[in-house]
Structure 1
Amino acid sequence: MALHRGWEWIRRHGEITPSTPAGRRFGHLGKGVCIGFPTGAIFGEPWIHIGDDTLVGVHVTISAGFGPGLDLGPDPVVKIGKACSIGRGSHIVGHQSIEIGDDVFTGPYVYITDQNHGYADPDVPVGRQWPVNDSVVIGDGCWLGAGAIILPGTRLGRNVVVAGGAVVRGEFPDHSVIAGVPAKVVRRYDPETGWRPPFPETPLDEATLAALADLPPIPGPGELAS
């Protein structure tokens, strides 16, 4: 249909790349970068740096500061490394410092921010209290599952897996799997023993082992039929 062909033309020509006028507004947009169209809210481009060959899905918001036209100082606020893939509908909202390493992949609708409202004064609505900033670092090779929320002050090591829907705050080591609300380490990699739970497993005591040994054998399929 002509409508579909027209939409494909608009979608293709609406993409932001280093060679487009919109791409040249960024502090740095590496070679091979493509930001899908339609975009989400994108502003504060001079303080956004994106490394080579990173792909950003459609409807993704990437912002630096509270709104367009602000002077945020000499340093980048949002840095996304090389060869990353940012899933559709995700939000990366930076005010102080968000650093995303190389080869980081996210599912759709991931939310990453370095700012949240304070709630210290019980007599003032939370939304009217002064926001609190705390920088975010996401290490190389991380995977963030669909709907994960990365809150201010988060530090993820290398190759960390974040389960879908997790709400993450705090520091997490290299080669760990984190899940839950709030997120906790559920698996980690030990170079000597491989992947294991975060704490040593408790061995079964002798009484439990003896009780298991006394259980009758499980019948096979043929025995059940007879």
Structure 2
Amino acid sequence: MPFPHSLLSAARARRRRAVGRLVHRGWRWVQERGAVSPESPGPYRFGSLGDGTRLAFPLGTVFNERWIHLGPFCIVGEQVTLSAGFLPGLDLGPEPIVRIGGGCVIGRESHIVGHQSIVLGDDVWTGPGVYITDQGHEYRDPGLPIGKQWPRNEPVEIGSGSWIGTGAVILPGARLGRNVVVAAGAVVRGEVPDHSVVAGAPAKVVRRWTPEAGWEPPIRTAAPRPVPDGVTAEQLRALVGWDLHLPGPVDGGPGAGAADPSAAS
């Protein structure tokens, strides 16, 4: 008697589901074992790797990590490039080239490419696909291919508490102040003052907070819903694992805890 077609189809479907579960379980195991942390650095020898910091697997291009310093409690997403210098194996001197402060979050498939000095303060967060570099190509010699002309380095600094939106580009020489919002897709160069929102290519200041005037132009979106009564900061920290600060005025600081979503997303 031939095997019923319906039973055969059901058996094949069960097998596909089982194989799928196995593949996903195996990949989660690989991601867990491949992640880089102070306890499990793998083949990498960073200049410093702070407590609680974790680089997700698979990593992007990482080389000359001896000149890359990461502070504590950073989260680095998958396929993030962290590099210092032109090529692996260089001696880049006594000082770090890339310095990332504590509590930073680097979105997946971002690139931080340092040659002279890139400094991220504490609690700098980026969306995915952000590009930060301190080197640009020269093109002034019309008779020489641009890729063969000697590049120009200018240090980059991003102030603590800043947010860099998806796909933004931070160019050589950029100096961003504290708590700056960079809109998605913006191309940033030059000085950006504290508590500013910048957007466009090239990026321009579209909103700024000052103690005298507050936010100009005013933020017209509704404030985030408050945390329910009775939830303590300690409970939030235990739940999320970060040093959270509730929205609202704190010691005379900006009144709005959240950035304008229309500018940052």
Greater Cα shift, 184-193 or 72-81: 184-193
Could you tell me which amino acid in structure 2 is paired with residue 30 of structure 1?
A: G
* 1:182 paired residue number: 202
Q: Is 1:162 matched up with 2:196? A: no
Could you tell me the TM-score, scaled by structure 2's length? 0.73
* 2:120 paired residue number: 100
Percent identity, aligned pairs only?
64
Unaligned runs of 5+ in 2: 1-20, 219-265
Write the deviation string for residues 10-32 of structure 1: whole angstroms up to 9, x where unpaired. 01100000122437600000000
Which consecutive aligned stretches of 4+ in structure 1 deviate over 4 angstroms post-superposition? Answer: none
Task: Output the CA distance in 1 between the equivalents of 2:134 and 2:43.
Answer: 24
Greater Cα shift, 184-193 or 134-143: 184-193
State which of 213, 218, 230 in structure 2 corresponds to 1:193: 213
Could you tell me which amino acid in structure 2 is paired with residue 44 of structure 1?
A: N
- Aligned residues of 2:81 and 2:113 also touching (Cα < 8 A): yes
More strand by share: 1
Task: Output the CA distance in 1 between the equivalents of 2:35 and 2:104.
Answer: 17
Unaligned runs of 5+ in 1: 199-226
SS state at 1:189 partner = strand
Could you tell me which amino acid in structure 1 is paired with residue 113 of structure 2?
A: V
State which of 135, 148, 172 in structure 1 corresponds to 2:155: 135
SS state at 1:19 partner = coil
Could you tell me which amino acid in structure 1 is paired with residue 99 of structure 2?
A: K
**Alignment RMSD (CA, Å):** 1.2
Task: Output the CA distance in 2 between the equivalents of 1:65 and 1:179.
Answer: 29
- Aligned residues of 1:23 and 1:29 also touching (Cα < 8 A): no
What pairs with 1:207-218 in structure 2 (closer than 5 Å)? Answer: none
- Aligned residues of 2:116 and 2:153 also touching (Cα < 8 A): yes
Task: Output the CA distance in 1 between the equivalents of 2:38 and 2:86.
Answer: 24
Could you tell me which amino acid in structure 1 is paired with residue 194 of structure 2?
A: D
